[in-house]
């Protein structure tokens, strides 16, 4: 009876993983932390490597999300009233302007919000 339960458990776990939406974001604490732990293990500092890798992964993901929000603001400026999350708008900006995710062309920064009393000509 246990021989039948093990394959069913494996199928159940794999199907749950397949149903979860996949997000194409770089880095993250787990991925970079695991790589840092392996590198730290080689140098006999596994925990230190994991902590450093985790910090680096969090920083990389922060930069990626910040740039995605900037691209979404640019897309919103070009297409007022566009619906969707900032991730969807950033992807649409990448497709429309032939840019790669994680790269914003120089000089393509969203304008600052105008202050009260300022007039735009």
For the residues 63-69, what does the mean pLDDT come to?
92
More confident residue, 54 or 110: 54
What pLDDT sits at residue 47? 92
Return d(Cα 30, Cα 102) in angstroms, integer: 20
- Torsion, Cα 27 30 35 39, to 10 degrees, reads 130
Report the predicted TM-score, pTM, of the whole model to 2 decimal places.
0.65
What pLDDT sits at residue 110? 64
């Amino acid at each position: 009876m246990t021989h039948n339960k093990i394959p069913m458990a494996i199928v159940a776990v794999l199907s749950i993983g397949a149903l979860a939406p996949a997000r194409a974001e770089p880095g993250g604490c787990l991925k970079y932390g695991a790589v840092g732990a392996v590198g730290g293990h080689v140098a006999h500092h596994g925990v230190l490597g994991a902590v450093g890798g985790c910090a680096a992964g969090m920083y990389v993901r922060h930069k990626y999300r910040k740039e995605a929000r900037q691209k979404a603001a640019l897309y919103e400026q070009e297409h007022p009233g566009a619906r969707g999350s900032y991730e969807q708008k950033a992807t649409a900006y990448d497709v429309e302007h032939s840019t790669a995710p994680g790269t914003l062309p120089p000089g393509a920064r969203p304008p600052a919000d105008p202050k009260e009393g300022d007039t735009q000509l």
